[in-house]
Amino acid sequence: MIPFKFKNAFCIFFTLALYGLIPTIGNAQSITKEAFNDSIRKLPYFSIHDDNFFITGVPTNKHIDHNTANAKYQISFKQMITRDALPWDTYLFITYTQKAFWDIYKESLPFRDINFNPTVSLGKAVFNKENKLKGILGLSLEHESNGRDSISSRSWNRISFNYMTSVHKNTTANFKIWLPFMYKESNADLLEYVGLGEINISHEIKRNKLYAELLLRKGLNLDGKGVVRSRIYYNPFNRNLSNQYIMLEWYLGQAESLLDYQNSKSMIRLGYVIKSNAFNWFKQKR
């Protein structure tokens, strides 16, 4: 469970941020509207979406053995439908993310759960009066399920809205809220654990070398259900400026996987990641 004092502060911060009451402290953006549109036209149609990774680790809140240690991996990609702006200067794309929990330390190496998350999305860049990039809005229709049937079936659908922007020097954030539907049959209390939104904050500590990220999510109830997920990314290659990193992740909370979304977890995992470049629009030029 999340401690009471932290829980209260968490709830207040989360509510303020979701409703836009936390001010933007600084604008690291420098890309112009013309440069942004030119970059969109040059983007490959097929690219990564969220982080692609393979990490493995152990719990911090229970005995460590072959039943509690595991691996988690994620595959995520995006396909641009059109690179030409649609009405209202929007862009249409589809994404697919697959997250798997793999008991690699058990004798038969079984998969515990696999979650599938396809989406159809519209994106729109927001510019200030000087035609400099201020943020990126997204509207998505999402489905997420674990592909099982009977009592192990878990699924939900949502219309989600997100806004990505710079909040401070070298710090960017993605604010996301969702309107869920068609989820009560197999997991009626899901919103008590996943809530109605999340905040993902990314800070560049050393350019192309070291990053820190924090994801916060609060369930609809008044107790400690929710998620605090922290990540450290480190690029160990001296001359490699690609998006390959070593990632350390600590996941604390519920709903890491759909199958056992009600279970509280505290897992530390380490592994290889191909990092998403979603926040790169807001990097300062150096």
pTM: 0.86
For residue 198, give the nearest of 178, 184, 183, 212 by alpha carbon.
178
What Å distances lie between residue 32 and 36, 88, 89, 160, CA to CA? 6, 18, 15, 27
- 125 contacts 89 by C-beta, under 8 angstroms: yes
Tens digit of pLDDT for each residue in 162-186? 999 999 888 999 999 999 998 887 7
Contact between residue 70 and residue 102 where contact means Cβ atoms under 8 Å apart = yes
Residue 284: the pLDDT is 56
Higher-pLDDT residue of 22, 230:
230
The distance in angstroms from the start CA to the end CA of the chain is 42
Residue 133 exposure: Cα atoms within 13 Å on the Cβ side: 29
| Cβ–Cβ under 8 Å, residues 146 and 258 | yes
Distance CA 254, CA 219 (A): 9
Beta pairing partners, 267: 59, 251
The 8-class DSSP code of residue 103 comes to -
Residue 38 CB-density burial (10 A; 0-12 exposed, 13-18 middle, 19+ buried): exposed
Type of residue at 121: S
Q: Which of 55, 95, 46, 47 shows the shortest CA–CA distance to 74?
A: 55
pLDDT surpassing 60 at residue 203 = yes
- Worst-scoring range by mean pLDDT, 52-61, 203-212, 245-254? 203-212
Q: What is the pLDDT of residues 123-148, one digit of tens each?
A: 999 999 999 999 999 999 999 999 98
Place of tokens 């690699």: 104
pLDDT in tens, 44-92: 899 999 999 999 999 999 999 999 999 999 999 999 998 888 898 999 9
Residue 123 β-bridge partners: 91, 138
* β-bridge pairing 155-168 and 210-218: unpaired
- The strand pairing partners of 124, in sequence order, are 90, 137
- Separation of alpha carbons 182 and 244, rounded Å: 37
The pLDDT of residue 3 is above 60 = no
pLDDT in tens, 227-244: 999 999 999 987 766 789
* 121 vs 89: CA distance, rounded Å: 14
Q: For the domain that residue 179 is a member of, what is the CATH number?
A: 2.40.230.10
Q: Residue 101 is part of which domain span?
A: 4-282
Q: How many domains does the chain have?
A: 1
